[in-house]
Amino acid sequence: MSSSSETLVIIGDRGLPSKCVCGERGHLFKWVEDAIYEEVEDALPKLGIMANEIVKAKAEINELNVAMQELKEDAMQRKRVICKLKRLWKMCFLWLCVITI
pLDDT, one tens digit per residue, over 39-56 is 888 889 999 999 999 999
Q: What is the Cα–Cα distance from 90 to 82, expressed in whole angstroms?
A: 12
Measured in residues, the chain has a length of: 101
Q: Which residue has the higher pLDDT, 29 or 68?
A: 68
Q: What is the Cα–Cα distance from 45 to 51, expressed in whole angstroms?
A: 10
Q: What is the Cα–Cα distance from 56 to 60, expressed in whole angstroms?
A: 6
Query: What pLDDT score was predicted for residue 40?
Result: 87
Whether the pTM exceeds 0.85: the reply is no
Which residues, 6 or more positions from 41, have their beta carbon under 8 angstroms from its beta carbon? 14
